[in-house]
Structure 1
Amino acid sequence: MQAPRQIAAVIRKYLRNELTEAEEATLQQWLDADPARKSYLNSVIEGDGLLDDLRLYHTLWGKDHGDARMVRIHQRIHQGLSQQSVPSKIYRPLKWLPYAAAVLIAVSATAYFFLDDPVVEQQIAVVNAEAIVPGGNRATLTFANGQTIDLSAEQGGIVVGDGVTYLDGTEILDDKQAVRKESLASGVSYLLSLATPKGGIYQVTLPDGTNVWLNAASTLKYPSQFDDKERVVELAGEAYFEVKPTPMSQPFKVVTPGQTVQVLGTHFNISAYPDDPETKTTLVAGKVKVSLAGSRQKSASDSRLRPADYVLRPGEQAINRGAQIQIVDVNTDQYTAWRSGRFSFNGKPFDQIMKEMGRWYNFTVRYEGDIPPDRFLGDAYRTDNLGTVLQFLETSNIRYRVEQASADSYLLIISNGKEATKP
């Protein structure tokens, strides 16, 4: 079987009257393998389907560029195409077959025949940002034996106790999963993992009554039962914690790469995404102790040396950059706005805003030129579609376009001060 890319190249050369004898034999063999291939190649040479291809071309290039090209190519096709058929043997097409029409026909034929082939030339599809909807309640729960459950999007969270239920008391595990139900209720502690994808958010009530809200693209690992000495969970990504107070003999600890946060009963937010250079611990209420590598650290506000274990006060944030920690005073709402369904832009670098939005709408960013230096004020609602949220860019002459990256993800192309052009 010929590779799809090889056949696509042969078809293009056939339509340009450039086939060698060997390529002619290859194309003939490919056509003889399936009568539908001859029929389809005949239909596109006669002109059927070309208008659909032109509409695709118009979409890929955008309205301004596409309109003019569509008119010109449409005229050339209707001036040049003749009523010719594909016989049982290959003959070269007329030399005046327009080049642009040949390219479009090759694209159409390739897409038609190769949908089920392992290698496909993917076309770039420009997407209307207004059509990209926000994330929602999406998460998976993984048990110690590796089995995973897709949690209901109609529910907002789960409760871990003698078993695992949704917040409204509905059972997560059905009768077919009785073994796992018995294990959770057996008194033996098992490791559980709650994970949200990009565009997902979910809540979990831990065995001690602590509530945790996971932001998008985050994972929380925790035991089905805590022991009497300490309560330890592991976080990758971002989460907001409301820790249930317990005696000092049973502290609550959140472990992230590079640090451990010890809690006695408090509300706080930790952002520890793997693709961020910093881990930020923001204290809303209560008291936490941040333990970092190194014996002594320097405060951001003065030159005094701080111990490696630093106790945060409400309104303070510990920024861990690996070898150093910085303690700053912050407006906590700016770092916890996601919990109330908002993006907070206030004073954040542009690339940080794009990262936060990308995790929610499942897009990655490519910059054409420098990253815009602009800083913004205000909020946006996470319940709005992407196009509505991106309206803030209009105030700074920042242009963008959105392309389809995969079935459920996107590429946002940012251009500072000019229209985002096609690559």
Structure 2
Amino acid sequence: MDQENDIQARYQRFLDNRATAAEVRELMTQFGTTDPVQLQKLVKQALGTAIDNRPLDDGGEQAILQIHDRLKKKLFPAPKHFLIRLLPYAAAISLIGAGIYLYIINRQQAGSLSSSFTKRKVTTTEIRPGFNQATLTLADGAKVSLDSTKNGIKVTAGQTVYNDGTSLKAPVANSSSIIYNALTTPKGGQYQIILDDGTKVWLNAATTLTYPSHFGKTREVSLTGEAFFSIANDTDKPFTVKSQNQVIRVLGTSFNLSSYADEKEIKTTLVSGAVRISTLNPSTNGSMDSQLLKPGQQAINAMGKILVKSVNVDNETAWRDGVFSFQGKSFSQIMRELSRWYNLEVVYEGDPPVNTYFGSAFRDDKLSVILGLLKSSNIKYRFEEGKLVISTLKREGAPELGHK
């Protein structure tokens, strides 16, 4: 039996209440060494079958609590101080909150949170996650709304079609000269594009990629927002990505670029290959700083100065696999990310909470589930006139599991 099937079998035995304490502990060890994306898919598949197909009514909440209680009994026969004693295991699988258990626990909290909003006639369950949607703006200014049942488009010999080969409802005219089009995802949208050279780009929400109908002697695009690039190799034509005051030059490589106007920093994370990051002086257009990245490194461009550090690339690219990664992010950072994906405005009463989070969530969950994961006793949510209003209550005491 290969490792993936072994983990899946062990996890299913746990959900079926057939695993011994030793098997559960072995499962924890495997979770700690499993690829994060694989682990996230495993949990989503298992919990989706067991829980997500039912609304979080009394029966749904009871199912979650039964799984939670089963875990306590298997790992810790004496239930006293369960959450504290669980921390070593939770740390091993920090990709999803403080572990699968935090996910399960907070699914119950999310149900309670949703119920409280229902009583006010405004529910977070009404706010659903983003989906495939984008607009293609042509060189002449014409706009084409792209099919949301498709996941992307591709450019071949100057012509644009969907990734599956079907034509656009409003065909994009072929042109022998190089013209520039723009692919834009709104808040709550995502889309993909394969450029004329075979380069693949995944666009996150609220992102615009400006690109040529076909490449000439150079390969150059510009980006605002966030996208993952898988660059087609062409040693004779380096690929250039411009974003705000930054230029990235690459050959064949893959990297993630986050360059939102409402963020203070531009982050470039290299997955494979090599890239050179250069910052530009807005007045002279001359180079201010330049750094060469290696795989596993991230360049943080703040006011033209580049800081390079090593990061977990899975966390930085998790969005492409349908996952929010909140590792080390502040509450306000997370809210900006949720604002873009769920297409909502976030308003604070007073200063934003200072909590730092170490967890993850699924991007296809409703907002109520995400807010449940972020829930703490000093943060209150409510909806007013279509806005998410957040207030912070001053309190003393230790932070809750999952953030600090």
TM-score range, shorter chain: 0.5 to 0.7
Asked whether the 8 Å contact 1:400–1:415 carries over to 2, the reply is yes
Question: Are positions 1:316 and 2:297 aligned together?
Answer: yes
Of 126, 132, 135, the match for 1:131: 126
CA distance in 2, matches of 1:354, 1:287: 32
CA contact (8 A) 2:381 2:391 kept: yes
Once residues 307 and 237 of structure 1 are traced to their aligned partners in structure 2, the CA distance between those partners, rounded to angstroms, is 22
Runs of 4+ in 1 over 3 A off after TM superposition: none
CA distance in 1, matches of 2:313, 2:356: 18
Q: Which of the residues 150, 154, 157 maps onto 2:145?
A: 150
| Partner of residue 417 from structure 1, selected from 386, 393, 397 | 393
What is the one-letter code of the residue matched to 2:275? V
Contact 1:318/1:326, CA 8 A, preserved across alignment: yes
C-alpha deviation, 1:413, in angstroms: 1.0
Query: How big is each residue's C-alpha offset from its partner over 1:340-393, in whole Å with a ceiling of 9 and x where there is no partner?
Result: 001111111111011011100011211122211112222111101100111023
Compute the RMSD of aligned alpha carbons. Answer: 2.5
CA displacement, residues 179-215 of structure 1 (integer Å, 9 cap, x when unaligned) = x43xx1x422211100000000000000000000000
Q: Does 1:166 align with 2:162?
A: yes
* Aligned residues of 2:239 and 2:250 also touching (Cα < 8 A): yes
Cα distance in 2 for residues equivalent to 1:270 and 1:390: 26
Partner of 1:232: 220
Task: Please list the CA deviations of residues 17-73 of structure 1 after superposition, one character each: whole Å capped at 9, or x if unmatched.
Answer: xxxxxxxxxxxxxxxxxxxxxxxxxxxxxxxxxxxxxxxxxxxxxx99x99xxxxxx
SS for the counterpart of 2:197 is coil
Is the 1:126–1:404 contact (alpha carbons within 8 Å) kept by the matching residues of 2?
no
Contact 2:289 2:305 in 1 (8 A): no
**Offset, 1:416:** 1.7
Give the partner amino acid of 2:316: Y
* Unmatched 5+ stretches in structure 2: 1-114, 282-286, 396-404
Distance 1:127 1:418, change over 3 A: farther
Q: Percent identity between the aligned chains? A: 46
Q: In the alignment, is the contact (CA less than 8 A) between 1:278 and 1:319 conserved in 2?
A: yes
- Aligned pair partner of 1:196 in 167, 185, 209: 185
Superposed CA offset, 1:71-101 (max 9, x none): xxxxxxxxxxxxxxxxxxxxxxxxxxxxxxx
Q: Secondary structure at the match of 2:317?
A: helix
Contact 1:318 1:328 survives alignment (8 Å): yes
Partner residue, 2:77: none
Asked if 2 retains the 8 angstrom alpha-carbon contact of 1:126 and 1:401, the reply is: no
Which consecutive unaligned segments of at least 5 residues does structure 1 have? 1-62, 68-124, 295-305, 406-410
CA contact (8 A) 1:164 1:173 kept: no
2:404 matches 1:404: no
2:253 & 2:346 partners in 1: Cα distance? 35
- Contact map agreement 1:126 1:403 (CA 8 A) in 2: no
CA distance in 1, matches of 2:167, 2:349: 49
Q: Does 1:257 align with 2:244?
A: yes
Deviation at 1:126, TM superposition (A): 6.5
User: What residue in structure 2 maps to residue 24 of structure 1?
Assistant: none
Paired amino acid for 1:279 = I
Cα pair distance change 1:200/1:396, threshold 3 Å: same
**What secondary structure, in the 3-state scheme, does the structure 1 residue paired with 2:357 have?**
coil
State how 1:19-418 maps to structure 2 within 5 Å: 127-162=122-157, 163-174=159-170, 177=171, 180-181=172-173, 184=174, 186-228=175-217, 230-247=218-235, 249-293=236-280, 308-405=289-386, 411-417=387-393
Q: Deviations over 1:229-275 (max 9, x none)?
A: x200000111000001111x200000011110001111101111111
Q: Is the 8 A contact 1:262 1:290 kept in 2?
A: yes
Counterparts of 1:172 and 1:403, CA distance in 2: 39
**Contact conserved, 1:317 with 1:328, CA < 8 A, in 2?**
yes
Whole-Å separation in 1 of the counterparts to 2:162 and 2:394: 49
Rg larger for: 1
Give the Cα–Cα distance (whole angstroms) in 2 for the partners of residues 338 and 142 of structure 1: 25
> Whose relative contact order is higher, 1 or 2, with alpha carbons under 8 Å and at least 6 apart?
2
For residues 209 and 220 of structure 2, the distance between their equivalents in structure 1, rounded to whole angstroms, comes to 11
Contact persistence 1:398–1:415 (CA under 8 A): yes
Give, in angstroms, the shift of residue 399 of structure 1. Answer: 1.2
Secondary structure in 2 aligned to 1:188? coil
Greater mean alpha carbon deviation, residues 396-405 or residues 364-373: 396-405
Give the superposition deviation at 1:397.
Answer: 3.4
* Distance in structure 2 (CA, Å) of the matches to 1:235 and 1:148: 18
Q: Which one-letter code corresponds to 2:340 in the other structure?
A: R
Could you tell me the TM-score, scaled by structure 1's length? 0.62
**What TM-score, normalized by structure 2, do the two folds share?**
0.64
Aligned length: 276
Please tell me the residue identity of whatever aligns with 1:320: N
Inter-partner Cα distance in structure 1 for 2:307 and 2:214: 34
